[in-house]
Each structure stands twice: as structure tokens, then as C-alpha cells.
Chains A and B, each alone.
Chain A
Amino acid sequence: MTARVGVITFPGSLDEDEAARAVRRAGGEPVALWHGERDLRGVDAVILPGGFSYGDYLRCGAIARFAPVMTELAAAARAGLPVLGICNGFQILCEAHLLPGALTRNAGLHFVSRDVRLRIESTRTAWTRAYAAGQEITVPLKSGEGAYAADDRTLAALEAGGQVVIRYLANPNGSARDIAGVSNEAGNVVGLMPHPEYATDGLTGPGTDGLGFFASAVSALAEVAR
């Protein structure tokens, strides 16, 4: 059975098409979800894509967390639905308190768009089980508010609980402890600042290193279905 992965479109979403393509490349079936509707259409997993959900002039994701679709999503995520937030999606998940910490302005105060090297730190999440622990990958980063921040106690708890999912090899934006992605305690909700969906086709990206995030969820869901 093919895993159905919902991709939410907010009015200012930009990366939903590429997220859908990545799901398809990983063998899943993308399902379009609209921010203004509460219905998750029975999907097996959800991706919150990158972009500028509602313009984000205030604080990235601060308005999106109140979108109608988020009520259902929050409940489903707490019940174990695999949820992946990429870039703006990560910011929204933090604003919605589905993930700990916050994303703040890059250290240089500039938007940073470049390919970054990452190390997979945890393979126990719904979105990273296709990788090997310690595996190094190259994925594009493109964000202005990408510096991960949390208080020391939260950071220590993340480390202790294996919730740091990926780390930058060379910190591009001042993120605390080089953190590029984190998960919730259960490991079903993951937020990533870099964009693995743009590393699933060697023609338009730096390679296919990003495919594993999507394959992780799609294959796990297919196994459950069997």
C-alpha cells in the first residue's frame, strides 16, 4: 500500500511542490492540504513545507500556528502521526509547541542560501530511519531566520534524549550546538532547517542525499500497512 503524505499549503508557502515531488520520488503519494481547512483527509503523514506562510513580517510561523488546519494537525501529531516541518514548517512547529526551542535571525543577519554538510545524529525518528547514524549528507539551506535557539536545560534534554536529529558540520547561521534539526520526544515530529526536498534530484540540486527523509516515512508506513 502506498503511503499518503499530506503537504500543507499556506498562502505564502513556496516549497510545497518540491516537497510533493520528493514524496513521489520516495514512492509515496502526496496529498494537497489547504491551510484554511481542518480536514487532514486521512493521510498517513504530514509535511509542513518551506516559505513565508503568512508573509512572516511578524515572526516566522507566528500566525500560521493559528491556521484552521493546525488544530487537527496538533492533535494528530500528539497521537503519533509522523510530521515533518521544513524551514518555515520547522518554525511553525516550534511556534505551535510541537517541537522545543525557536528559530531566530541568522548570526550574520543575512538570508543564507547555500549547500551545507550535515551529520545525521539520530536515526530513531520517523523521518531519519533510512540513514545510518553519523552519515554525512549535503543538502541546501535557504533561510533568514534559521538560527536554532533554546535555553540550556532544553538543549541538554535534547542531547540526552537523542532529539538532536541533524547537525551542521560548519555552522552557517549561529544555531545553538550546530543544531539543524530536532524531534519531539516520541520521534514522530521532526523539524529541519535545511531543505532535503531540494536534494532529491541531481539535476536541480546538489545530489540525492535528501531523499532518505522522505523514504524513511514512506517505507515505514508501507511496512505498517503490510
Chain B
Amino acid sequence: MTVERVLTGQDTVAQATASPDQPQPYAELGLTAPEYQRIRDLLGRRPTDAELALYSVMWSEHCSYKSSKVHLRQFGEKAPASDALLAGIGANAGVVDIGGGWAVTFKIESHNHPSYVEPHQGAATGVGGIVRDILAMGARPVAVMDALRFGAADAPDTRRVLPGVVSGISFYGNCLGLPNIGGELAFDPCYAGNPLVNALCVGVMRHGDLRLATADGPGNQVILLGSRTGPDGIGGASVLASATFGAEGGSAKRPSVQVGDPFLEKLLIECCLELYREDLVTGIQDLGAAGVACATTELAAAGTGGMRVRLDAVPLRDPALGPPEILMSESQERMMAVVTPADVPRFLEVCARWGVQATVIGEVTGTGRLEMTWHGETVVDIPPGTAADEGPVYHRPLARPDSQDALAANDPDALPRPGDGPALRDTLLTLLAAPGLADPSWVTEQYDRYVRGDTVLATPEDGGLIRVDQESGLGVALATDGNGRYTLLDPYAGAQLALAEAYRNVAATGARPLAVTNCLNFGSPEDPGVMWQFAEAVRGLADGCATLGVPVTGGNVSFYNQTGQTAIKPTPVIGVLGVHADVRRRLSIGFGTEGAPIVLLGRTGDEFGGSAWAQVVHGHVGGRPPRVDLAAEQALATLLADAAAAGVLSAAHDLSDGGLALALAESCLRGGLGARVTLPGDPFTFLFSESAARAVVAVRPGAEAEFARLCAGQGVPAETIGLVGGSLLDVAGSFTVPLEELGRVHQGPLPALFGPASSAPAITS
């Protein structure tokens, strides 16, 4: 029984009052019996079919955060004092002051389930959705990033999902004209039936340009602009994102995936920015999950409180749609604006210039009710707050799984380690060729990184860096990180390690970290073990942000990431935004200066729990993740930003997966020069340990003393381990590898797995 067949457009408030006992398909819409009863209690009658549809999507996990709300509160309660925040959690996206009259807004969001069902369109519309969130704040979107996680790289289904996801992101983002400046690519069998596609967008505005999603002022007109409403994506949020995939796979759910039109979104962006410039908008909201239902209830609830909407005025792609479908449709490329009556004619003129359809569908009222009519009959009449803000809130049971003890006890100390130089060399080459650590160019070469002309750094750099102000050189850096292995072993520490890595990556570009967004990818909240993972991760992240002094400005929770009863590894993906005072002083990871001393920063311990080495070489995940030391992270980040500003570094690269060995190889390949290093202790530990709060830098020759003073000032341990130069990676006493071989091993795996992207190798700089 499909939703479309059981709900009709004929059910009115009058009929609902007259037929109180008519059975309704609330369970099919994802509502529980108590939730359905609550709707009846709130309304004092049974809901109409349209109201039932509206509540079902608004109270879905995806839209209401009903299982996560009680935990997410910590982000506000523990938030560090920051005068940088212009708008925070609750808005479409957080807005951060970066100085010079500029503000930026950024957010990351999941599109996991649609991307499994239909990879190309699922990923494409994930980009489209997050871009509209940013646009709705009044900002011009300026860049995107994508954090992608798939099943085993050689699994047959990965060959369906990965190329489709990448082509979807490429198709949509490139056509919109947004540079794709970085992200992640990871593989783990746990994502085989549930890939993670997390899309981030950042936008830029002047301080005065901030827009809010409120419908204020009775008499103001409500305008729907952009695409016509069609039957695509009906119930996507309630039925799809809040359900798990069973053994039958996703084919039965295909109609729930939306179809994207990036050209229309490009027009919508330019149109909205022109509307903002002419000050023709009093409130605006994007249409994403739950479409018209969400936009009307949220605008009304945040504003004067009342709104009257003529649903039959909504332009349709399919004339057979009735009120429930119109409310639930997730057709893409739509926005809803609140406009004063005097501005409506000019508003419509601007839309016409861009070829964007715009239709007045209602008006703001002072009644405190959200009323919707369908050809004159009232089909919705509710207090909007009951749908938007007063949904169910669950204190889901949580319990630390018994398996945690066994996981922790299964430490990696017993794993055989490479004993001599040749074995260490083999280990490095094995890691370099692991799909999740190999050169991701097969993916990133399908994305336009240049468009808009302000991309200063992009993949394979540690973070993306975008110039905001051409005159002053002010810019913003962004990085996303997550590590399901660490988070599985210890969710509290894992979330902090993801935060620390993104924070470190931003600092490694020379920027100062300022704010945080997050995409929390977990299994079913109805599983107490998953809920414990979630609660611990949120607590860790909130505590970590408080300690590092970077507020969470917004984010997204994605539950039900599991196949049958098996949840994914808990995977909080953390995005950190930093400010770069002058992008001309950016740091690259590339070793490009012959004779530059190489300095290892931070303390290296014997830490292999959840490491890339343990997983890639031994298929082992166990023990403890690396120790978290946020004070050390802060000192390191300050040092890197100070050193970049002082111009004493020629390269900087954060250490994470694969440790120093991977970082050295990547820096050599990026810069086109070799390195000769002497390790200050056990070679295996120094090469492959994943101790946090570390980076490797190349110091500008002649600036060694000044850099040493900066390190001492921050109390960051610094050890000179070698020199940049030549065409070999030479680890004294252990092994050498020619750059040419490093490159071949690093660049080969993804084209071998997914087919040649094109007929010629890339130029290395």
C-alpha cells in the first residue's frame, strides 16, 4: 500500500470533524500510535489526510530530531563564549563573523539513504539541498565539499554506488558553478549497504545581508519560487531517511528519490541574490525535506504565527497531485519567500528576468493558525508550532554494549610489526595503495575546483581555502574529518579526534579555527547500543568544542544508517571553519623548497588502536584510539597559524591516517621533491603511529631559529628530522623509495578499481 493511494485530497476539516473514527494510515507514514493520538489531542479531532501527511513528515526523525534533541542541547549549553556567532543553531545554517564586515555561513548535511537507492540523483540533490540552506541565510554560496564513505572498494555494489555518487556531485556542483575544494573518501565494509554522502556548503555575505526564516507581518504575501511541485521524493524524509534498508535493497523505494535540475538552482541562486540586493524579501526559507509542509509551518511558527495558504495555487508538474502529496513532495530547487504587498510586483519582475517561476500562494495572518485551503475547502487548520517545534521528544534508552570491553581488550600490541627496512618499505607502499589512503584524483578530477577564481587550496591539501576579499586577502579555510574506527572503539574520544583532526587541518593551511558544523551518522536510535554511541559522541564533541573555544553553529543528524540489524560504525563527520587573515600566506602540504629542514611537531607515542596500519595490514580494529590532548591541539594550531603569518614555513601537513609515513609521502608527491629523514626512535612507531596533535612542516631555510622560538613559545615539541630535496623518500637506516614509485603506487589503485577516468596521467606540480 503506497502513501499516494491511501491519502486523498478530498478529506477536509469538516469531514474530519464529522467522521472522527475513520481509520487513518498513520503507521504507513511512519507515525507511532501514541504520536497519532497526540495529533488527535492537539487538534481535538482526527487530522485530515493533509494534516496527517504534514505531521508525519514534520515529526519524522529527519525533521524533528526527536531522538537526538535531548543530547544536541549540549552544543548550546556548553558553547564557548564567542562573539563571532551572528546566528546559531536553529537557523538554516550558522553565521560567523570573520571580520572586515564579512560573515560566512556553512553547514554539512547527509544524503545517505537517497544516494544508496539512486546514487547519481541522490548525491546531486544532496548538493542542491545544502546549497539552498546557505542561500536562504542571505549568503552567496562560494564552495562545496563532500565527505564520502563507501563499502569495500572492490565490492561489486561499490562500483555502482561510488561512480554514481561522484558523477551526481560533479553534474550538480559543476553546473552550479561552485568549486569543490575538498572532503573525504573512505571505504569500510560497514558502509556497503549504507554509504555516507555528506555534503558541505559555505557561503559569504556582508554583515547586513543576514536573512531569517520568519513569516512576519499580517498581510505579507507568501511566494513559492523555483521548480514546479511534482510527485518526486514524496515521503523522502519520513519514509526513507527514517527507515533502514532491508535485504530487498532499495529498488522498491526509488520513487522517494528526488531528481535535480542544477541549471534551475543556478538561476534560483542568482535570482535570490538579486532579490536580496533590492531588499524585496522579509523572510525566506529553502524547501528541502518535507517541502511545503516544512517551509510553511517553520516560517509561520517563527514569525507572527499565522498563515493562510491556497494549496491549489501551487504550480504542479503533475495535475493529479492533491494536498497530502503537495505538502510532502520534495521536489528540488524551490524556495518560499515572505514579501510585503508593495514589493510583490517588483519581486515577480526580478524572478521573470531570471526565468524563475514565482507564485503567490498565501499570506501571513495574525490568527496563530496555519490554514490551508484546496479549492475553497479547508484541509489544514493547525497551530503551526505544534508541527514545527512541539514534536515528540524521546529520551531513548541507551546502554553501553557489552562488546565494548572485548573491543578495548583486543589491542593491536600483539599484531606482528614490520621488523626491518624492506618490511617497513612494504608497509608504506601497502598503505599508500589502500583505496581509502590512495590518491583520490579519480574522484576529485571530476569536480571543478577553479570556478569563481578564488580557490587558493583544494584537495589534496589538508583543507580547502577560499579567498573572500580580493583586496585584503581575507579568506576561509574548511576541512571535514571523521573516523568510524576510532569512534567505534570510544565514541567520546572518536568524536573529539574527528574534531581535532579537522581543527588541525584548518590550522595547517595557516588559518585560525573559528567554528564547527557536524553531520552525525549513526545506526538506529531505537537500538540502545547505538544511542549510547550517539550520546557519547555528542558529549565528546560538545566538550571538545568548549575546550577548543570553537562553537558548533549547526549540523545534521542522520540515524538509521544500517543494513538489517547491523549498524554502521558510528561516524560523526566534523567540519571546521577557520579564518585566514591573508590567503597569500597559505601553507601547502607540498615539499617544494630544496634544502628546507623538516620538523616533526608534537609527541609520538605507540598508538595503533583503530589505526590505518592495523586495519589495512591486519584487518584489525581494536584497543584504544589515540589519546586526545586538546591543549596540545590548541598549541599546535596557534603555532601553525603564527608561523604561516610570520612566513617561516614552506609547507605543513597534519598527521593522521597512516601517520608520518603517509604524510611524508604525500608532501613529497605534492611538491615534487624528495626528503631525507632520520627518525628519532623506533622507526615503525615514528612512521606509522597515529598519535594526535602532530604535524610535519618544512621550514623556510634561514628561518629555523625564528620557528624554534615560536615552537618554544607555544610549548610544542619540535624535532628536526631531515631535509627536503632530491627525488627519493629516504628514511635513514631503513629504506628509500623513488618519488616515481611512490606516485605510481599512490595513483594507481582508484583508476584500477573504477576504470580509467581519462586517457592520460595528471601532471604533478
Show the binding face of A for B, using Cβ within 8 Å.
Answer: 11-12, 14-15, 17-18, 21, 51-52, 54-57, 106-108, 110-117, 138, 140, 142, 144, 168, 170-174, 195, 197-198, 201, 203-206
A107 and B452 form a contact (CB under 8 A) = no
B263:A54 contact, CB within 8 angstroms: yes
Q: Is the interface of B mostly helix, strand, loop or mixed?
A: loop
Interface residues in B583-602 by Cβ distance below 8 A to A read 583-584
Contact at B449–A52, with CB atoms within 8 Å?
Answer: no
Q: Please determine whether A110 and B758 come into contact, CB atoms closer than 8 angstroms.
A: yes
CB of A202, distance to nearest CB on chain B (Å) = 10
Q: Is the interface of A mostly helix, strand, loop or mixed?
A: loop
Please state if B763 and A114 are interface contacts (CB–CB under 8 Å): yes
Q: Once the chains bind, are A12 and B450 in contact (CB under 8 Å)?
A: no
Q: Complex: how many Å from CA A112 to CA B763?
A: 13
B762 at the binding interface (Cβ < 8 Å):
yes
Select which of B267, B450, B467, B756 is within 8 A of A195 by beta carbon.
Answer: B450
In the complex, the chain A residue whose C-beta lies closest to that of B446 is A111
A204 and B456 contact, CB distance less than 8 A: yes
Residues in B neighbouring A171, C-beta threshold 8 A:
759-760
B584 touching A116 by the CB < 8 A rule?
no
The contact string, 1 if C-beta is below 8 Å from chain A, for chain B 543-585, is: 0000000000000000000000000000000000000000110
Q: Is there an interface contact between B266 and A113, defined as CB atoms closer than 8 Å?
A: no
B453 within 8 A of A: yes
Cβ–Cβ contact B758 & A142, under 8 A: no
Q: Report yes or no: B446 in contact with A55, Cβ–Cβ below 8 A.
A: no
B445 within 8 A of A: yes
**In the complex, chain B residues whose CB is within 8 Å of the CB of A140:** 450
- In the complex, A106 Cα to B765 Cα: how many Å? 24
Which residue on chain A has the smallest CB distance to residue B455? A204
Q: Of A51, A54, A108, which one neighbours B759 at CB under 8 angstroms? A: A108
Q: By the criterion CB–CB under 8 Å, are A108 and B758 in contact?
A: yes
B316 within 8 A of A: no
On whether A172 and B760 interact (CB within 8 A), knowing A51-B177, A204-B454, the answer reads: yes
Kindly state the separation between the CA atoms of A195 and B174 in the bound complex, as whole angstroms: 15
User: How near does chain B come to A119, taking the closest CB pair, in angstroms?
Assistant: 14
Contact of A113 among B445, B756, B765 (CB under 8 A): B445
- Nearest Cβ on chain B to A184's Cβ, whole angstroms: 27
State in angstroms the CA–CA spacing of A96 and B609 once bound together: 62
Q: Are B759 and A205 in contact (CB under 8 A)?
A: no
B759 touches A55 (CB 8 A): no
Please give the distance in Å from A111's CB to the nearest CB on chain B. Answer: 5
Question: Do A112 and B758 form a contact, CB below 8 Å, given A11-B355, A12-B175, A12-B266?
Answer: yes
Bound-complex Cα distance A107 to B757 (A): 9
**A113-B445, A116-B763 given; A204·B757 CB < 8 A:** no
Q: Which residues of A contact B449 (CB under 8 A)?
A: 113, 142
Q: Contact check: which of B174, B448, B583, B760 meets A170 at CB < 8 Å?
A: B760
Check B453–A11 contact: CB distance below 8 A: no
CB distance from B79 to the nearest CB of A (A): 34
The 9 closest A-B pairs by CB, nearest first: A55-B263, A14-B177, A170-B760, A18-B453, A108-B758, A198-B450, A111-B446, A142-B448, A111-B170
- CA of A197 to CA of B583, assembled, Å: 20
Residues of A within 8 A of B167 (CB): 110-111
Q: Are B267 and A198 in contact (CB under 8 A)?
A: no
> Would B762 and A114 count as touching, CB distance under 8 A?
yes
Q: A112-B445, A204-B453 are in contact. Are A52 and B763 (CB under 8 A)?
A: no
Verify if B447 is at the interface (C-beta below 8 Å from A).
Answer: yes
A205–B455 Cα distance when bound, in Å, is 8
Q: How far is the CA of A107 from the CA of B355 in the complex (A)?
A: 34
Q: 11 more A-B contacts (CB under 8 A) besides A18-B453, A111-B170?
A: A14-B452, A18-B452, A54-B263, A56-B175, A111-B446, A111-B447, A112-B445, A113-B448, A115-B763, A171-B759, A173-B759
Closest to A57 in B: B263
B26 within 8 A of partner (CB): no
A-B contact pairs, 17 of them (CB 8 A): A15-B451, A18-B451, A21-B453, A52-B262, A56-B175, A56-B263, A110-B445, A110-B446, A112-B446, A113-B447, A115-B762, A115-B763, A144-B170, A170-B761, A174-B758, A195-B450, A204-B456
B452 partner residues in chain A, CB cutoff 8 A: 14, 17-18
Q: How far is the CA of A116 from the CA of B764 in the complex (A)?
A: 10
Q: Which of B448, B584, B758, B759 contacts A203 (CB 8 A)?
A: B584
CB distance from A95 to the nearest CB of B (A): 17
Q: How far is A131 from B451 in the complex, measured between Cα atoms in Å?
A: 25
Residues of B within 8 A of A110 (CB): 167, 170, 445-446, 757-758
Distance in angstroms from B549 CB to nearest chain A CB is 30
Residues in chain B near residue A113, CB distance under 8 A:
174, 444-450
Smallest CB gap from B261: residue in A: A55
Instruction: Name the residue of chain A whose CB is nearest to the CB of B443.
Output: A110
Closest chain B residue to A52, Cβ basis: B175
- Whether a CB of chain A sits under 8 angstroms from the CB of B532 is no
State the CA gap A168–B300 with chains docked (Å): 57
B735 at the interface (CB under 8 A from A): no
* Alpha-carbon separation in the docked complex, A197 to B354 (Å): 26
Chain B nearest CB from A126 CB (Å) reads 24
A204 to B181, CA, bound (A): 12
A144 to B758, CA, bound (A): 11
**Smallest CB gap from A9: residue in B:** B270
Q: Mark B589-632, 1 if CB is under 8 A from A, else 0.
A: 00000000000000000000000000000000000000000000
Q: Find chain B residues with CB under 8 A from A57 CB.
A: 263
